[in-house]
Structure 1
Amino acid sequence: MPVDEIKPTRAGLLIVRRRLALAERVHRLLSMKLDGMMLELVRLTDEAAEERRALEEKYAGAREMAAVAAMMEGATGVLLAALSVEAEPSYTAGHRNIFGVRLPALEPVMVRKTLDQRGYGILGTSSVIDDAADAYEDLLEAIIVTAEREGGVKHLLDDIEKTRRRVNALEFKIIPELTDTRRLIEDRRDEMERQEWTRLRRIKKIKAKRGSGL
């Protein structure tokens, strides 16, 4: 029932009071959720920035190791070693729940490999190939971790904006409207009670005059 259709009766007043109590309770809970999400956002943002810096360092290191391997083994040797790997690196995507928000949880799959899993053998290559492979495996893990952190930041930002809109709607529209409606109904009921009391008093006086006339 819309607020403007509620009648100034005792039942209508109870409806408004219940709605107002519910709106205030939801406002408190959403405000607490918003505060918690803001703290989590700060933490995730710091972690994402740190992971991004680490990612850039590992990228530079991997490029350097690849250049060394190409210089020692030749570009063809590096390419053949890379093509020898059969199991492609991947990841599994899950979710974790933070304040009711589903944040991405990424788990590397076949990123770290043993020498046997790399497939190129240890006799036909030098250690620089292994060093380059290690560096790029580190880089891939850093990419997955960074993607998880930055994805979490994006999800949190979206939900923070939605929650903030709901909090503002409750605080500046719904609760004030319900408060005004409650006040109007209470004032209207007080006026009706005064009118009823005046009417009863007038009836009592009339009856008293009639009784004294008899």
Structure 2
Amino acid sequence: MAIMNVNPTRMEMSRLQSRLSTASRGHKLLKDKQDELVRQFTKLVKQNQDLRKEMEETLQKGMQGYVLASSSIPDYVLEEAFAIPLDKVTLDVQSKTVMNIEMPVLNEIYDDEKSEDRFSYGFMATTSELDLSLNNLSSILPLMLKLAEIEKSCQMMADEIERTRRRVNALEYMMIPQLEETIDYIERTLDESERATLTRLIKSIDVIEAGED
């Protein structure tokens, strides 16, 4: 590690010791932040895996039911069944702060009160498989929004972990060792200077005493 280009004085050494103390405290805080970020990230990844599994299972059930229903219901009946939607929904995007990271919060908002009717079609020309399919598919939207929210949060947290890791490494392997080596260099230089001064002083005293004799 290269020593910093500074004047080997006590004032400079005091200034560098103050910087070293600040860098050490900063390193500890950043290391604690990194550990907490990793803990939160691991928790989010587990939630993401569980939610994705739930959504895929729900989607699979919904599509299986739809395939069974469409095999026994004429196409024109299906088109008429889905011609008029019961509800109109929009996406609401908010945010929350976690470890100084602005993470998204996604929610569905219905323009009017949610319809009490479960289906927009009559039951004469449709089958129970279609009803079960739509029941499963209707729960997909909240799952999709939550999954998108968690996946984006994971991405943002991973980026923050990487930035924090680079800062921790810069302090741990560059700045702090460089400050320590520079302070050690100044201490050695000052010690050598003091010994040289003391040696000259002793010689001067010896010369003076020899002259008096």
Interval of TM-score (by shorter of Structure 1 and Structure 2): 0.7 to 0.9
Please state if 1:175 is matched with 2:180.
no
- Separation in 2, partners of 1:90, 1:133: 19
8 Å CA contact 2:31, 2:168 repeated in 1: yes
Q: Which residue of 2 aligns with 1:15?
A: 15
Q: Which residue of 2 aligns with 1:24?
A: 24
* Letter matched to residue 152 of structure 1: S
RMSD: 3.1
Q: Which residue of 1 aligns with 2:115?
A: 114
Sequence identity, in percent?
A: 25
By how many angstroms is 1:121 displaced? 6.2
- Separation in 2, partners of 1:87, 1:133: 14
Q: What do the CA deviations read for 1:35-54 (whole angstroms, capped 9, x no partner)?
A: 11111121111111100110
Q: TM-score, normalised by structure 2?
A: 0.82
By how many angstroms is 1:8 displaced? 0.7
- Separation in 2, partners of 1:171, 1:68: 62
- Separation in 2, partners of 1:69, 1:114: 23
Q: Which residue of 2 aligns with 1:196?
A: 197
By how many angstroms is 1:109 displaced? 2.3
Gaps of 5+ in 1: none
Q: Secondary structure of 2:8's partner?
A: coil
8 Å CA contact 2:87, 2:114 repeated in 1: no
- Separation in 2, partners of 1:62, 1:75: 18
Matches within 5 A, 1:34-183: 34-71=34-71, 74-85=74-85, 88-110=88-110, 113-115=114-116, 120=120, 128=128, 131-183=132-184
Q: What do the CA deviations read for 1:164-194 (whole angstroms, capped 9, x no partner)?
A: 1221221111111111111001111111121
* Letter matched to residue 67 of structure 2: A
Indicate how the Cα distance of structure 1 residues 117 and 90 shifts in structure 2: closer, same or farther if over 3 A, else same: farther
Indicate how the Cα distance of structure 1 residues 113 and 126 shifts in structure 2: closer, same or farther if over 3 A, else same: farther
Matched residue count: 210
8 Å CA contact 1:69, 1:78 repeated in 2: no
* Letter matched to residue 57 of structure 1: E
- Separation in 2, partners of 1:14, 1:75: 84
- Separation in 2, partners of 1:114, 1:126: 20
* Letter matched to residue 56 of structure 2: E
- Separation in 2, partners of 1:104, 1:47: 15
Indicate how the Cα distance of structure 1 residues 191 and 79 shifts in structure 2: closer, same or farther if over 3 A, else same: farther
* Letter matched to residue 59 of structure 2: Y
Q: Answer with 51-60 or 165-174: which moved more.
A: 165-174
By how many angstroms is 1:58 displaced? 0.9
By how many angstroms is 1:86 displaced? 7.1
Q: Secondary structure of 2:82's partner?
A: helix
Q: Answer with 126-135 or 4-13: which moved more.
A: 126-135
By how many angstroms is 1:141 displaced? 1.2
Please state if 1:184 is matched with 2:185.
yes
